[in-house]
Amino acid sequence: DSICENENLQKPCTPGTPASEDDNGRPFYYPFNDLLLWAVLMKRQKMALFFWQCGEESMAKALVAKCLYQAMSSEARQWNIFDDTADKLTAYSKEFGALAVELLDKTYKQNEIMTMKLLTYQLSNWSNLTCLKLAVSGKLRIFVSHACTQKLLTDIWNGRLNLGKHAWFK
């Protein structure tokens, strides 16, 4: 019985459901999230980029990968590692940060309201954080300074008041 002929591999895996019944009690509900984290922790950038494209929550995954790489780079610098590991990790972090900003820009151009909802949606797979909180914790200033994020923060700050033209007339 070769691995390619295994009947469990022939069944499609739907995100949010266990891969199989006989998984020894350890289901992988979102396998691409787990594989992305593994690839980042192993410094496998090409593989991390591949897993980032798969599954759901691409913006959140990009922000999480950016934060992880940033933290790993900081640790590498503190430990005075003499090779170029810290610089590579910083470059990987910047790449995922750029992907998050690019995705934010594209979604904002398609649908402003849904993008703002995406920024404030609590991500159950990521400790109930939001994409906005992930971007702030990762100090991704270009993400936070994006027009969509600024509009959202203005709405939050103003308490979602209607500040349209002539709002003071009754």
Q: If we measure between CA atoms, which residue out of 98, 97, 73, 99 comes closest to residue 87?
A: 73
Q: Locate tokens 């002929």: which residue? A: 5
pLDDT, greater one: 156 or 44: 44
What's the gap between Cα 36 and its chain centre?
Answer: 10
Q: What is the mean pLDDT of residues 58-73?
A: 97
Q: Given this model, what pLDDT does residue 26 score?
A: 66
Q: Where in the chain are the domains?
A: 29-157
pLDDT band (50, 70, 90) for residue 22:
low
Question: What are the pLDDT digits (tens) for 71-116?
Answer: 999 999 998 877 899 999 999 999 999 999 999 999 999 999 999 9
Q: Which residue has the tokens 């940060």?
A: 97
Tell me the angle at which helices 147-157 and 85-110 cross, rounded to the nearest 10 degrees: 70
**Is 11 a residue whose pLDDT tops 60?**
no
Q: Is 31 exposed, middle or buried (0-12, 13-18, 19+ CB in 10 A)?
A: middle
In our burial notation (b when 16+ CB lie closer than 10 A, e otherwise), range 110-137 reads eeeeebbebbebebebbeebbbbbbbbe
SS3 sequence, 106-153? Answer: HHHHHCHHHHHHHHHCCEHHHCCECHHHHHHHCCCHHHHCCHHHHHHH
Residue 164 is predicted with a pLDDT of 53
pLDDT in tens, 104-133: 999 999 999 999 999 999 999 999 999 999
What is the residue type of 63? L
For residue 2, what pLDDT is reported?
Answer: 36
**Percent of the chain's residues with pLDDT above 70:** 78
What's the mean pLDDT in 61-79? 95
- pLDDT greater than 80 at residue 39: yes
> Predicted confidence band at 166 (pLDDT cuts at 50, 70, 90)?
very low
> What pTM does this model have?
0.79
